[in-house]
Structure 1
């Protein structure tokens, strides 16, 4: 990937935090690489090199700065939103595919040979798939060293290393410190309490409109799976090696995350899914700058900067939510989904009949428990049901028209037999076409999934009633065809405009 030296150097010279994660600054005279915003460096031009990834900087023999922690910077929004092979590969690597299935597994998912995949990643990222996965393992290991009291051997294998020797050598190379020294440097920092419990910070690019995220998630919260209490979002996770729970609390400059995992090998996938859920790798300056150029949206952008697209931790869960939500209110869909979950596991889920139906976009009530009257049960929060589990739910458990029930079963069968792939690194266009081929799934459902499950930043749900109501409230065209034409000025960020129109409704 070609780096514009002058533009990168100006960002470094001004300590511009907006570029953290976009690129990395290597200083050859010190052998260190940093974030662009690092306050510790004032490098001379002749000693500076710029890299598109931490793995590329490490491959050049540089170690991570101990002050700015460049390996913990927000992920690049470029790789988060790109729909090409490299963007898809980066999302799958972040989700731990190489640790589970190796480079052959990654290449197979993407439909390319290992050799060609290596060539593409090296050209764009400055490092091949193994080096990129190695950089992620090093960061995962450092988190475990600094936030738990696990033994080093346990950490090595939990982080995905093949041996303790490989673990030791990698950390010495990346951080210029032995693993035991990293733990000593933790000083008085308290390790997380409880087996499998990890506390960490998820960085983002400011601004972040946390209230908009929590509003959206609260209205749609499913008992037994998720809840919002006292400004913290809690949910259960279904992960590659086991299950988990996470508590996410937005704070100034980061989101505090407390993870409880049954298998610590799931740390990297859990972090990747939490980042996707809250859209933490977005570039709000670029998004808001485009939308604010429209006079109709400018006041809303000024009043609520940093609106994100709430996304998904589980593609199948989001697909089921989209199908159930067809042509009914948010609250009606929530009740139907709660009944479905109760039919699968009646102990973990209960239906709350207290609240009446709420129209899409209507704010939730202001109780600290998110309007559901109580915390999770003693068994804790659990991940959404899988495709196999949905297929085992009896007819009586669906509580919906026969056609919609059969659409859900058809979707579940397509996922289990591999006809439809809902993974984070899926080819978006192909996935949408395969979804549209299923009976009962139309353009709204497929595009809703493209926006929330696949991370497409440029989806306008112009057929959605609440979107058109929001457009009318802002003085915009509320006719579908006219709105489609008008919205061209919002490209490539129409998904973020959709969220703002829902809020305006």
Structure 2
């Protein structure tokens, strides 16, 4: 069965019917099935008895199901489904801003478009308005916390982005047609634990052995921890310190993620950032088909993912430090920068106990201001490159929301640096690093590469070329 590109998924089609009857995990989160007789909507992998075709309707998003009056299934739990990357670039850029709690007006202004145009894009892509999507995602996160944790309902309400328990209860019931009490099947704890553990799912295939090796080769001691079965790191969410540790569970097509935040009100943004860092929402089967079309005579490595940095600034700094040096040498330079200028992991005056005991995750990546204000003499590299780092940091400190494309005006920043930063810091999917040394080496060993056939996923073709070298 061919897995479609989410840009052209034929909702209400024979393909959706075949996928749900086969409980094909490759379609999980790409569409949802609503059952007319029960008023419930499900994931394609739902273990319940499959309803007859004339008793179901298909929707492109969970929010669209809710808007049509359906409530989520308590067996397959749509709140735990992997996400999907929107085909619309506008919607793709808007989702992280909405997840961070920004208003419709603020998101429209940040994207340089009108509120009306943003609403039109959302209706065309997801079948719902931006505000409806935002509220529903908050309710789905709250439902996931009710299922997977024993947090008090009050803490869940605020962590999910609501400003009062009353507003949370009203919205939860209106959106899901369930009350928090109906969802929760365990006793709440008296006091919220220091950390939170969630199950974050993905659509297979996910080539974790390759992704793990890629991350291990570049992991920075103290900032990151990478191993055969885990990856974790320190990061910031809205200037609040955070860390996570993700352990891979191949049988469940998921990661068990333990998370700590200095400010739990940023939980929605933190979970979204972790999903992005691990690239959990890609449609690998469709991407692999495009990569194979670009490499018709080669055996490809299926299920490659594109790990992201928490910020485009970090991606840019690492790109500059990696110019014309080996991965090992770049790692050494980044380690020196982090250990010299990185802030110690702390929240409310102290580091979380688990991290302090383990000693693995203890420092964050330096801020733009910290890099811009230092002479960087400790970095053993040409003085001009140090000045490039400082110029880039000063620009990012002054314009924290500027896109990487704007860096080309800075002395010492070229197209490769910008493209690498966009690929690994902005989750740009169509970056073809033709001038990259590793790509050139792989090209020399391959008889035929038709990179145009891989649009809009040439970033994955780029990492496919890197994987061919190993």
Inter-partner Cα distance in structure 2 for 1:216 and 1:143:
30
Structure 1 position 265 matched with structure 2 position 276:
no
8 A contact 2:11–2:31 mirrored in 1: no
Are residue 103 (structure 1) and residue 104 (structure 2) matched?
Answer: yes
Q: Tell me the TM-score normalised to structure 1 length.
A: 0.82
Q: Contact (CA 8 Å) 1:40, 1:67: kept in 2 or not?
A: yes
8 Å CA contact 2:150, 2:186 repeated in 1: no
For structure 2, which runs of at least 5 residues remain unmatched after alignment? Answer: 1-7, 346-355
The answer (yes or no) to whether the contact 1:239–1:266 under 8 Å persists in 2 is: yes
Deviation of the 1:291 alpha carbon: 2.5
Q: Which residue of 1 aligns with 2:284?
A: 284
How far has the Cα of 1:30 moved from its partner? 1.1
Q: Which residue of 2 aligns with 1:406?
A: 387
Deviation at 1:186, TM superposition (A): 4.0
What's the counterpart of residue 344 of structure 1?
341
SS at match of 1:289: helix
State the alpha-carbon separation in 2 of the partners of residues 213 and 464 from structure 1: 19
Residue 194 of structure 1: how far off its partner (Å): 7.1
Deviates more, 1:393-402 or 1:128-137: 393-402
Counterpart-to-counterpart distance in 1, 2:103 and 2:192? 31
1:437 aligned onto 2:409: yes
Q: In 2 relative to 1, CA 186–230 (structure 1 residues): closer, same or farther, beyond 3 Å?
A: farther
Aligned to 1:177: 178
The DSSP-based 3-state class of the residue aligned with 1:395 is coil
1:118 and 1:3 map into 2 onto residues whose CA distance is 22
Alignment of 1:487-502 (within 5 A): 487-502=451-466
TM superposition shift of 1:203? 0.8
How far apart, CA to CA, are the structure 2 residues paired with 1:213 and 1:279?
10
CA distance in 2, matches of 1:130, 1:193: 32
Contact 1:241 1:266 in 2 (8 A): no
Q: What's the RMSD between the two structures over aligned residues?
A: 2.8
Decide which of 49, 62, 82 is 2:70's aligned counterpart: 62
Distance 1:182 1:195, change over 3 A: same
Q: What is the CA deviation profile of residues 67-101 of structure 1, one whole-angstrom value per residue up to 9, with x for unaligned ones?
A: 11112211113x1xx462122212433xx23x2x3
- Report the counterpart of residue 236 of structure 2 in structure 1: 238
In structure 2, distance between residues paired with 1:84 and 1:467 = 26
Comparing 288-297 with 305-314, which one deviates more in the overlay? 288-297
Residue 128 of structure 1 corresponds to 129
Q: Distance in 2 between matches of 1:292 and 1:419?
A: 38
Aligned to 2:5: none
Are the equivalent residues in 2 in contact too, given 1:288–1:306 (CA < 8 A)? yes
Q: 1:449 — aligned with what? A: 421
Q: Cα offset for 1:61? A: 1.6
The total of aligned residue pairs comes to 449
Give 3-state SS (helix, strand or coil) of 2:336's partner: helix
Paired residue for 2:398, among 407, 417, 420?
417
| 1:15 corresponds to which of 5, 11, 23 | 23
Mapped to 2, the partners of 1:169 and 1:223 lie a distance apart of: 45
Q: Which residue of 2 aligns with 1:48?
A: 56
Residue deviations 1:257-284 (CA, integer Å, cap 9, x gap): 1111222122221211111112111111
Give yes or no for contact 2:430–2:455 (8 Å, CA) kept in 1: yes
1:92 pairs, out of 78, 90, 97, with 97
**Is 2:254 the partner of 1:254?**
yes
- TM-aligned CA deviation for residue 239 of structure 1: 1.0
Distance in 2 of aligned mates of 1:271 and 1:284: 20
